[in-house]
Amino acid sequence: MTTPAFAAEAAAILPELQALRRDLHRAPELGLLLPETQRRVLGELDPLGLEVTLGERLTSIVAVLRGGRPGPTVLLRGDMDALPVVEQTGLDFASTNGRMHACGHDLHTAGLVGAARLLTAHRDRLAGDVVFMFQPGEEGYGGARIMIEEGLLEASGQKPVAAYGIHVAPGPFGTFVTRPGAIAAGSNELTITVRGRGGHGSQPHQVLDPVPVAAEIVLALQSFVTRRFDVFDPIVLSVTQLQGSEAVNVIPETATLRATVRTLSVSSQRRVAEEAPRLAEHIAAAHGMVAEAVFEEQYPVTINDPAAAEETLAWLGEAFGEPRVQTLPNPGMGSEDFSFVLNEVPGAFVMLATSPPDSDHTTAEFNHSPRVIFDDAVLGDQAAALATLAWRKLESLAD
């Protein structure tokens, strides 16, 4: 069956999607509880006649579209939460509440609303069901995992056969990028506390000073990463926090460091979880102290199903033209909690470049910057791409 002209139909609703995005951008919310964002999205979905379920532990929205033809279920996802960043874009719809949609989740939400509108307009021809996943808590709260625990994957009565998400980022406007296999790194946190014996800052010989030991561990971790791990299965370990005494003339009892650890495979994650604590413990022991290490796994590696990624590249190429679709040569070291969904359902995660056409995307501020700019003229194509992926997947499995 012929795929609807989603791109042309999305162009007609683009002004409404931009208005929604800008409303969300003016009033961003953090974490798992986004009551105003949820209210605004529910207002957009209400005329569509979808089966809506709200989260219990978070302000999620799961909306099910029943197609007019029998078939399986496909899931589409958009995240809704913002970051604790003070916006510096100068946009006339900039946030002023000390929070910012600095990762483009306002576009993800508006784009998913657009996809719901496009697919609903053709529900009688749709060969199955579509679950629209509006997710809070992507930025470090594991919202996707909680939604799965609350029944996301059973929302339509059958587990989805495929799942798709699109994430905006700076780059050549309107370019879609994805790849088979790993596309984003797993995210982990390492906390190491060195325990010594504190005292006066003028008498270090009478105490066990944990600060230089913590500093030694920081340097050792950098060598550990570059000398113990294959460059073709890399990890990125960045120590971002160091804490010692609160008074400059006091040698503290303890010194604590925290690091973010990004991995691209389960094997490298397991190795760093086992070996980094051992390294810290031995360095501390050499100085007559002890080190306690905690390795916390946050998000798994985001892994695109190879077949789903190839289908995605082909279908988007047909819809938007081959020049606008590219295969990403290497995974990024950022992390995504859509990984929890892709651990359960084969699918693909796609990046969509959104730098304004009149800007130099090579020098653009990146996601999480207080000055990052996402051109919301891309919203029509974002909505059309999500609708296309759901439609083509269901049609490929139709009897």
pLDDT at res. 180 = 97
What are the extents of the domains in the chain? 6-184+301-396, 186-299
Q: Which of 139, 61, 135, 134 is nearest to 99 (CA)?
A: 139
Residues 37-59: tens digit of each pLDDT: 999 999 999 999 999 999 999 99
Per-residue model confidence (pLDDT) at position 289: 98
Q: Class assignment of domain 6-184+301-396?
A: alpha beta
- Please count the other Cβ atoms lying within 10 Å of the Cβ belonging to residue 245: 16
pLDDT, tens digit, for every residue of 7-20?
999 999 999 999 99
What tens digit of pLDDT does each residue of 127-151 get? 999 999 999 999 989 999 999 999 9
Secondary structure class of 373 (helix, strand, coil) = coil
Residue with tokens 């960045």: 238
Is residue 399 scored above 70 in pLDDT?
A: no
CATH 3.30.70.360 holds for 186-299: yes
Give the mean model confidence (pLDDT) for residues 105-116. 98
AA letter at 356:
P
Distance between CA atoms of residues 284 and 306, nearest Å: 44
Residue 2 has pLDDT above 90, yes or no: no
pLDDT digits (tens, 9 = 90+) for 283-294: 999 999 999 999
To the nearest whole number, what is the mean pLDDT of the chain?
Answer: 96
- Mean of the pLDDT values across residues 330-359? 95
Ordered DSSP codes for 75-104: EEEEE---BS----S--TT---SS-B-TTS
| 190 has pLDDT over 80 | yes
